[in-house]
């Protein structure tokens, strides 16, 4: 079986992350992961000191965490794939985007002005997948099953109560595929969760196919504080 991290943030981009891309990849390598998604926070307030910068400059800033992680992965033998965790002003929810690309971001300078319905329609047109992250986190988030493809139902970040049992229940009611991730920001978050697969995930398309086909085994459910 192969280990894959689906949800990770690095200090170069995500303001809440505390360690660098290279440090993250070194941890995952040491703990036997073969694939890691870099899913930094994509939000209007996550571009410090860049109010006057162009959208292209902001996209370049956002992508640098992934680029640093990928360079470390190439050196250490870990496949690093690109993703994003988007959120919008006035909405507490977070959504993981898999299959989003730098080119798509460059073509969407208005992305933070989209409604969830518009983002979902855009994903259908451009072939990326939307997973709602921790849909019941700390009693503030809420599920939006009609504008997503899947739910993250096992999030092992130790500083939040994700009520994952509720996420599993709503996914079952709506017949949505499910996934798991560490939501890593710090050394003590890294490599607590993710998924196991019988085939190595080497592309974003591999992960999306296995997710939508229900072929993922979750890592780290015992670390979920909502179950304690």
Domain boundaries of the chain, sorted by first residue: 2-227
224, pLDDT greater than 90: no
How sure is the predictor about 220, in pLDDT bands with cuts at 50, 70 and 90? Answer: confident
CA distance 59 to 14: 13
Average pLDDT for 131-148: 96
Residues 6+ apart with CB under 8 A from 148: 95, 120, 130, 131, 132, 176
CATH 3.90.1170.50 fits 2-227, yes or no: no
- Sign of the dihedral defined by the CA atoms of residues 111, 140, 5, 153, in that order: negative
Beta strands 217-219 and 129-133, pairing class: unpaired
Beta strands 194-197 and 217-219, pairing class: antiparallel
pLDDT tens profile 191-201: 999 999 999 99
Prediction pTM value? 0.95
Average pLDDT for 131-160: 96
226, pLDDT greater than 70: no
């Amino acid at each position: 079986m192969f280990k894959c991290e689906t949800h990770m943030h690095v200090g170069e981009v995500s303001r809440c992350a505390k360690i660098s891309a290279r440090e993250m990849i070194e941890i995952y390598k040491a703990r036997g992961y073969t694939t890691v998604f870099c899913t930094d926070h994509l939000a209007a307030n996550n571009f410090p000191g860049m109010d006057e910068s162009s959208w292209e400059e902001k996209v370049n800033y956002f992508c640098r965490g992934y680029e640093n992680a990928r360079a470390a992965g190439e050196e250490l033998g870990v496949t690093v794939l690109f993703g994003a965790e988007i959120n919008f002003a006035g909405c507490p929810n977070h959504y993981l985007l898999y299959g989003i690309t730098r080119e798509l971001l460059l073509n969407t300078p208005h992305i933070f002005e989209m409604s969830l319905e518009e983002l979902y329609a855009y994903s259908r047109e451009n072939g990326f997948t939307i997973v709602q992250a921790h849909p019941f986190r700390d009693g503030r988030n809420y599920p939006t099953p009609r504008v997503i493809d899947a739910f993250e139902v096992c999030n092992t970040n130790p500083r939040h109560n994700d009520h994952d049992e509720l996420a599993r229940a709503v996914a079952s009611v709506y017949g949505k595929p499910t996934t798991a991730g560490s939501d890593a920001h710090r050394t003590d978050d890294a490599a607590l969760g993710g998924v196991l697969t019988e085939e190595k995930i080497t592309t974003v398309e591999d992960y999306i196919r296995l997710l939508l086909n229900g072929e993922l085994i979750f890592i780290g459910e015992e670390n979920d504080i909502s179950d304690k």
